[in-house]
Amino acid sequence: MLCFSLLAGGAGLQAGAAQTAAGCPGGGPAASAEIRFREAVEWLSDDLRAGRGARGGGLVWAGEWIEERLAETGLVPAGVEGWRQPVPAGGASDLPASERPAREGFNLLGVLPAAPRVGSSGRPGERAGGGDPRGGVVVVAAHYDHLGYGGWLSEEPGNSEVHNGADDNASGIAALLEVGRCLVAGGPRRRPVLLAAVTYEEVGRLGSRALLESLRRAGTPVVAMIDLDMVGRLGEGSLEALAASSSPEWAGLLEASCGAAGVSCVPRPDDGEPSDHRPFLEAGVPAMWLTTGRHGDWHRPTDDADRIDARGGVRVARVAAALAAAVADRVRPLARAVDAPATGSSPRGAR
């Protein structure tokens, strides 16, 4: 079980910021954010990390580095012990033995606790949903694993060069860290916001499944989930919001958040594409995958840091922060779509 007692207190954080997260108030100049973004992608996708594969030590090293960076954001640790939540290595039985995780992995969890439940009279308990994890939590997640030296999931299965995964998904982790800084700068919201760097996405989304199950067992509803996966190639293009059809209210929230960040966003229906939003969709949670799209370097050794648009990545992070803040401040949870989500046909489906 996770440390969800931290979701309710707002301890260690200064409340009262009515600003949205889109502008990252107090977060420093945009140039600093771009430098941090680029440095994060470069470190995570360096050859020394050996592609952050499920069977290699580079993934553990990456997790330790992310743990240190999360501690710098001002978020509160929300794992079982500190920032970490264990993720069992089982559950990838439909993959070849050579592709399955070699050891127990770990997610890394930090939370922006909810604002205290204080109403206009100043008495505790008057702010509906505020400070109470039973009112639900907003989840923002990105996976930090990749393919190691290629293998069965590579688009070049005969190529054993290191697959560094700069866009997939060092860019998502870099964005997640910026989201954390933006949210902390904006102050606590009506509901807590849980940020998760999840593992073992490439081998069946084991980390996001473990996170969802822990939330369920803790009795904490998830009111919405935002997935950051491959967000480093924005350039002059658009940000895609896949599975925006999971709530009829996503479109309006996207319009406001993307407009504030100066990003062109394209809401798209759910088409079964697998990423870490998928387990949440299948559980009936309004969940959306933000991505700058697939490209010719996807799952190939050429997905390197020199092809990343750091400025665009920071703008995507600000969209995600604004979305998370807006959903967390709502009195009512997002409405859910009536139609059931499509389901991917394999551990990675068509992605």
In this predicted structure, the answer to whether residue 47 has a pLDDT above a threshold of 50 is yes
Cβ atoms of 175 and 317 within 8 Å: the answer is yes
C-alpha closest to that of 303 among 165, 180, 183? 165
pLDDT for position 1: 59
Average pLDDT rounded to a whole number, residues 313-333: 96
Contacts of 270 (CB under 8 A, 6+ apart): 242, 243, 245, 246, 281, 341, 342
Under the banding of pLDDT at 50, 70 and 90, the label for residue 132 is low
pLDDT for position 53: 95
In this predicted structure, the answer to whether residue 332 has a pLDDT above a threshold of 50 is yes
Strand (E) or helix (H) holding 87: strand 84-87
Please report, as a single letter, which amino acid is at residue 158.
G
Strand (E) or helix (H) holding 172: helix 171-186
Average pLDDT rounded to a whole number, residues 169-191: 97
Least confident of 55-64, 88-97, 325-334: 88-97
Q: Indicate the average pLDDT of the chain.
A: 87
- The token pair that represents 165 in the structure block: 């995964």
For the 4-10+21-116+126-328 domain, the top CATH level (class) is alpha beta
pLDDT for position 18: 29
Under the banding of pLDDT at 50, 70 and 90, the label for residue 126 is very low
* Angle made by CA atoms 144, 146, 149, in degrees to the nearest 5: 145
Least confident of 20-24, 133-137, 154-158: 20-24
CA atoms within 13 A on the CB side of 121: 4
Least confident of 111-125, 274-288, 291-305: 111-125
pLDDT for position 142: 98
pLDDT for position 259: 94
Pairing of strands 287-291, 193-198: unpaired
**Which pTM value belongs to this model?**
0.89
CA atoms within 13 A on the CB side of 13: 31
In this predicted structure, the answer to whether residue 347 has a pLDDT above a threshold of 60 is no
pLDDT for position 134: 55
What distance in Å separates the CA atoms of residue 229 and residue 137, rounded to the nearest whole number? 20
Query: Which DSSP symbol is given to 246?
Result: G
C-alpha closest to that of 292 among 350, 236, 233, 235? 233
Cβ atoms of 170 and 177 within 8 Å: the answer is no
In this predicted structure, the answer to whether residue 27 has a pLDDT above a threshold of 50 is no
What distance in Å separates the CA atoms of residue 161 and residue 109, rounded to the nearest whole number? 31
Residue ranges of the domains in the chain? 4-10+21-116+126-328
pLDDT for position 2: 64
C-alpha closest to that of 133 among 321, 2, 6, 286? 6
Least confident of 3-12, 77-86, 189-198: 3-12
DSSP-derived 3-state class of residue 268: coil
pLDDT for position 99: 85
Under the banding of pLDDT at 50, 70 and 90, the label for residue 29 is low
The better pLDDT of the pair 126, 309 is held by: 309
pLDDT for position 28: 55
Cβ atoms of 200 and 141 within 8 Å: the answer is no
What distance in Å separates the CA atoms of residue 24 and residue 30, rounded to the nearest whole number? 9
What distance in Å separates the CA atoms of residue 2 and residue 23, rounded to the nearest whole number? 31
Packing angle, helices 310-328 and 30-44, rounded to 10:
110
Contacts of 216 (CB under 8 A, 6+ apart): 283
pLDDT for position 234: 97
In this predicted structure, the answer to whether residue 345 has a pLDDT above a threshold of 80 is no
Positive or negative, the CA dihedral 324, 326, 329, 334 is negative
In this predicted structure, the answer to whether residue 91 has a pLDDT above a threshold of 70 is yes
